[in-house]
Amino acid sequence: MITIATIIGARPQFIKAAVVSRALRAQSQDVREVLIHTGQHYDVNMSDVFFDELAIPRPDYHLGIGGGTHGQNTGRMIEHIEAVLVKEHPDWVLVYGDTDSTLAGTLAAVKLHIPVAHVEAGLRSFNRRMPEEINRVLTDHAADLLFTPTDTATRNLARGGLSGAQVQQVGDVMYDAALFYGAWADRHSRILAQLALSSRGYILATLHRAENTDDPGRMRGILAGFAASPKPILWPLHPRTRKRLQEFGLSLPATVRPIDPVGYLDMVMLEQHAALIATDSGGVQKEAYFHQVPCLTLREETEWVETLDSGWNRLVGADTAPLATALHQTWQPGAPQPQVYGDGHAAERIRDALLAAGGQASCSPRPVVGTGQPPGAILGAGQAAGAVVDADQAPTASSSPRPRISASQERV
């Protein structure tokens, strides 16, 4: 029996943890999961409803930390997560994505010599002004098991000096979630009727990244672009975004219909039936891809380059003219979508890798942990063989500790 401490705090992490937790608890005779919710998303509509809809077990610990600056949140989270880890003595700490909760859980664990597994490892925007980019880079270099979703993510790690048995390409857990919960949304969501929406009769927008919401110039450009939309824009307003609009004295154009944040099943339904999605969210970009809805990304770069390569996503940034033009264009990618995000069984591969690695929490000093797979093994079915990383680029699990990586190397 091994104990896994799962750290979550934000909406995308609830979704990812839902499918992995279900896989872990299917092996309850072999694994015990301790669920730690930092409280990073503290609005009821951004947090509690997800546990209900996704059938996630209630957290064993709710730390109630949210609403502060990045530094305040991260520091308080480290302190409180550390106390839980000392009490629970987990064999592994499992973190997701790139939030403050991700980094805090990682730092608390490594300083206690507890191995860390990172789901969605290897993502890079190569934009160091994004807090998420700093979080994901630091987490990757501190973690012992790196679960990558795509060929691109695996190659990014290799360029940063991370390869070998600690890198496991498993596929994307968000694709697992899209397959599992898509049918639930069809059966249970009534959001279209409640809002009197017709399928393909609206554009769905989301906006929450600090690079946009904290910059009044970018916000003005996006709002002016939205004002030119030929279709009504439905915008579930993130609490952070609503606060910034008020602070900047910005009003929404007549084309925009704001609503409160919605639950996951309602969001899936809104995504599935939108004519177009405009977002700065990495998760929503992928969900648009999974549901075969064209997407405009309100940024200058994206971690999910596969959606661009396939023609289902376009980068428009925050300038008014490109956004307004793109909103007026009718476009539908002609080529079939390539299956770049795995086969819908990423959660099971993550569970199996953790079980194969076994209990490691008592090891000191903290090792770089292997999983019994050959160096650079690719676990995702149907993935290109060329994506296997070169184990000679970095030490494997049985060799010396990983080297320090400079910022210039990481940017390659």
Distance in angstroms (rounded) separating the CA atoms of residues 142 and 161: 12
The token duo for 303 is: 């971690």
The token duo for 46 is: 């951004």
Distance in angstroms (rounded) separating the CA atoms of residues 151 and 122: 10
The token duo for 325 is: 């033009």
Q: How long a stretch of residues is the chain?
A: 412
H-type helices in 206-319, by residue range?
Answer: 210-213, 216-227, 239-248, 264-273, 282-290, 305-309
Distance in angstroms (rounded) separating the CA atoms of residues 57 and 230: 43
Distance in angstroms (rounded) separating the CA atoms of residues 184 and 172: 19
Distance in angstroms (rounded) separating the CA atoms of residues 313 and 299: 11
208 is catalytic: yes
The contacts of residue 253 (CB under 8 Å, 6+ apart) are 223, 224, 226, 227
Q: Indicate which residue of 41, 208, 273, 291 is catalytic.
A: 208
Distance in angstroms (rounded) separating the CA atoms of residues 277 and 283: 12
Least Cα distance to 66 among 205, 239, 194 occurs for 239
Distance in angstroms (rounded) separating the CA atoms of residues 360 and 369: 8
Residues with catalytic function:
208
